[in-house]
Amino acid sequence: MRRPRPDATRRVIMLKIGTYRKLREYLDELRSEAGTRGLTFDDAVGALLAEHETLYAVGREEMEDCLRERLVERETEQKQNK
């Protein structure tokens, strides 16, 4: 693999198809929350990184509680959509 230039402003990454699908779902969630179609994959990755940094700063216990709440919310939304 070629070494990246230190002054490069863009990077191309390859994702496994499962990771791509999860990122696409997350992007769709962000778009529906924001009410706009103008968000990109870069925005989704940035939001995930910001969420990770916030959760990491808050602490592991609170992060686990937050994740449990999100899972419960998603499950109830899925049940309501059926």
- pLDDT tens profile 17-42: 999 999 999 999 999 988 888 889 98
12: alpha, beta or left? (left if phi > 0; alpha if psi -120 to 50): beta
Distance from C-alpha of 45 to C-alpha of 64, rounded to nearest angstrom: 21
The confidence score (pLDDT) of residue 5 equals 82
Which residues fall within 8 angstroms of residue 26, CB to CB, at 6 or more apart? 44, 47, 48
Place of tokens 């070494």: 3
The confidence score (pLDDT) of residue 70 equals 86
Which residues fall within 8 angstroms of residue 48, CB to CB, at 6 or more apart? 26
